[in-house]
Amino acid sequence: MLQINTFIENIKIENISPHVTSFSKDIKQNSVFFALEGINCHGSDFIVDELSRGASLVFHDDPNYKSEEENIYFVSSLENQILPFLCELYEINLSKYKIFGFTGTNGKTTTAYLCHQMLLSMSMNSIYIGTLGFLSNSLKKFQETRNTTPDLFSILHYLFLNKSEGSQNICLEVSSHALKQNRLKGLNFDVSSILNIESDHLDFHQNIQNYIASKLMISDITADNNVIINLDSSRIKNEYKDVQKSKFKSFSQVDKSCDFFLSIDQCNATNSIFSLQHEDKLLSFSTKMFPDFNILNFSFALISILNIYGSKAFTDIKVNKLRLPKGRMEFISNIPKNVIIDYAHNADGFKNVLNSVNTQFDRVISVFGCGGDRDREKRPLMLETALKYSDLVIFTSDNSRTESFDSISKDATRGNDLGNVVIIEDRKSAIKKGANLLKDNECLIILGKGHELTQEERGKKVHFSDHEVIHEIYI
């Protein structure tokens, strides 16, 4: 079998900073292109185009593709060679990195970002990679990533660009898509967490069992006894009886026999008091972490670090300096009204956010939409949940993509009582409507987009920010 590492010396001679990709639109002059099996087609379909655009070397694993070109090579089991090839090319020793993985339907971003902050507060180097983008301790702002979980080509290139920072920790959000597509083939996590599993992304996975199976695949690439699972998540608990127990450590707020037991004594926007029990150790906290699901996210981040660095590491973590990521249960400051922006984009996420705050205000107004060209079955459930935990719902657009807003709204309203629903397609107008209706001790919650800075409609992306709209209204 052809060993692609034999090409590295020549690549280094020809390229000062070699560019390697499997994404056809990323091709630059002298790029190395890996033509791999995709969701809808094989990368070999684009080889001719990539060569014309400047690719200097192509590897593929399509036995049906024939070419006489000298710089095109068929490699069987190509996926198995990608990671060692990239590590040698970029001169990266992954054994010097501790890799933290976080998967789950909700909470991945917050947990991974909190873990990143905790490690920095311990005076350690850390890299965050996820929905928010790419961030290292030396960067002042996030660099955009294409996916929640980038492929190995992107991850290793990020590490290459930040090699000067030395050995580090990597806090990585891991999506079900990435696991199902073997996007992280060969990467091994030192510790990982399965935060929860609820119905989502069924447009891709087809059914809930496939989705659950994809999430559980993270255990296959994690060290034994270092997968932390939330047994309070019913779908995880149902699967737990059939898994290899040596891979897992259990977490619960109900079952004190679990490896980690969380007890929340108080939880509000002013102060939260909670404790984490592990064996004979009890860690107690008094923080502004709110609401209860963010305390869970905090706990999983902390447990992950304790699993790698031990309980003595806790004393170095500056808990009260931790901040939630932008657009995650974010109370907008310096405005005269109560406004929250959150990234929740499924029924379970809606329940968590809305149920946490609706008892603290006289009235809750929620603004949200449903993504186009995505799981249609979750749309009525999202509206049903929003109505259950809100006093008024303003339904609007949220990345309609190529689908019409009318089609999306018809799906969402199916079977729901629309007495407390206002439908406004233009998202900016919808947010302004909610703000205009807001009175003292009421709360406007804007869901779905969080930190995002674009809105995709009719197949085109345009600049849009929920934050900017709120600041335009109040400041």
Q: Domains of the chain by range and CATH? A: 4-90 (3.40.1390.10), 94-321 (3.40.1190.10), 330-474 (3.90.190.20)
Q: What is the overall mean pLDDT for the chain?
A: 92
Residue pair 5/85 in contact (Cβ under 8 Å)? The answer is yes
Residues in the chain: 475
Q: What is the pLDDT of residue 146?
A: 85
- For the chain, how big is the Rg over CA atoms in Å? 23
Q: What average pLDDT does range 242-261 have in this prediction?
A: 90
Q: Is 9 exposed, middle or buried (0-12, 13-18, 19+ CB in 10 A)?
A: exposed
**Residue 15 carries which DSSP code?**
-
Q: What is the pLDDT of residue 171?
A: 98
Q: What average pLDDT does range 148-176 have in this prediction?
A: 91
pLDDT band at 16 (very low <50, low <70, confident <90, very high): low
pLDDT digits (tens, 9 = 90+) for 369-386: 999 999 999 999 999 999
CA 284, chain centre distance (Å): 28
Q: How far apart are the first and last CA of the chain?
A: 64
**In angstroms, rounded to a whole number, what is the distance separating the alpha carbons of residues 392 and 319?**
36
Torsion on CA atoms 137, 138, 140, 145, rounded to nearest 10: -70
**In angstroms, rounded to a whole number, what is the distance separating the alpha carbons of residues 264 and 430?**
36
pLDDT band at 118 (very low <50, low <70, confident <90, very high): very high
Residue 199 pLDDT > 70, yes or no? Answer: no
Residue 450 pLDDT > 80, yes or no? Answer: yes
Q: What average pLDDT does range 137-143 have in this prediction?
A: 84
Q: What average pLDDT does range 48-69 have in this prediction?
A: 92
pLDDT digits (tens, 9 = 90+) for 431-449: 999 999 999 999 999 999 9
Q: What is the pLDDT of residue 205?
A: 67
Residue 422, token pair as written in the block: 């206002």
**In angstroms, rounded to a whole number, what is the distance separating the alpha carbons of residues 382 and 239?**
25
Look at residues 251, 94, 249, 101 and name the one whose alpha carbon lies nearest to residue 175: 101
Q: What average pLDDT does range 419-427 have in this prediction?
A: 98
